[in-house]
Amino acid sequence: MDGCLTLAGNIPSAREEPGEEIALIRLAQQGDRTAFDALVRQYDQQVLRLILKIVPSPDQAPDLYQEAFLKVYRSLGRFRFESRFSTWLYRVVTNACLDYLRRQKSREEVQPPETEDGEADFLQAVPEKSPGRDPERTARSGEIGRRIQKALGRLGPRERMVFELRHFQGLKLKAIGELCGTTEETAKNSLFRATQKLRLELSDLV
């Protein structure tokens, strides 16, 4: 799986041996709360650090920490051991963070960040999505939103994550690279590919 948030290089080794962790995961998937609590204790500090890197205010972290682990608990049955558990876990947590931030601030209100190193400011080319009271503009705005969401859904997991963290959350490429456990240059390349694909998908809008 092409996991964006493979943070193994930045995270201490797990306390349990791999076989013991697998056993905990399987027990937790069967509803064993003690096993799930053990997984939480194993990753709680890493998850908290990840949340603090994404959200703009530390005051948001405690509630989001609870929400993220609740989402992990509800999603655990879908973990198929096709990737490292940490990769899957950090993806779930990051998606929970992005969902939280979307609820706090709609995308219509987000201003595209300044470009860096010649990066194409793709979102500035998308038409204004604030339709006011004009029914025709309202319908047009809804269609644009659906087109953008559909186009984002066709990106690879890494490309979509990098694009959303850059354009919707305003993170710098260096910070995105750290979150993805990779280099700033790799994050930049992923962003470039995502932007090119979106330009093709939305060529009639830009």
Q: How confident is the model at residue 107 (pLDDT cuts 50, 70, 90)?
A: very low
Answer with the residue of higher pLDDT: 206 or 108. Answer: 206
Q: In sequence order, which residues have a C-beta less than 8 Å from that of residue 42 and are 6 or more positions away?
A: 14, 15, 16, 21
Band of the pLDDT at 150, cuts 50, 70, 90? Answer: confident
Q: Identify whether the C-beta of residue 152 lies closer than 8 Å to the C-beta of residue 163.
A: yes
Whole-angstrom distance, CA of residue 176 vs CA of residue 166: 8
> What is the tens place of the pLDDT at every residue in 153-194?
888 877 888 888 888 777 788 878 877 777 899 999 999 999
**pLDDT confidence of 9, banded at 50, 70, 90?**
very low
Q: Is the pLDDT of residue 127 over 70?
A: no
Domain 111-206, what architecture?
Answer: Orthogonal Bundle (1.10)
Least confident segment among 66-70, 71-75, 79-83: 79-83
- Lowest average pLDDT, out of 100-104, 118-122, 154-158, 159-163, goes to 118-122
The answer on pLDDT for 97 being more than 50 is yes
150-158's contacts with Cβ under 8 Å and 24+ in sequence apart are 150/201, 151/197, 151/198, 151/201, 151/202, 152/198, 154/197, 154/201, 155/194, 155/197, 155/198, 156/2, 157/1, 157/2, 157/3, 157/4, 157/91, 158/2, 158/3, 158/4, 158/190
Domain layout of the chain by residue ranges: 1-104, 111-206
Confidence of residue 17 (pLDDT cuts 50, 70, 90): very low
Residue 177's pLDDT is what? 82
Query: 1-104 in CATH: which number?
Result: 1.10.1740.10
Question: Per-residue confidence at 108, pLDDT binned at 50, 70, 90?
Answer: very low
Cα(149)–Cα(143) distance, integer angstroms: 10
> What is the DSSP-derived secondary structure letter of residue 205?
T
Residue 2 confidence (pLDDT)? 41
Q: Is residue 22's pLDDT more than 70?
A: yes
Against a cut of 0.85, is the pTM above it? no
Burial degree of 115 (CB within 10 A; 0-12, 13-18, 19+): exposed
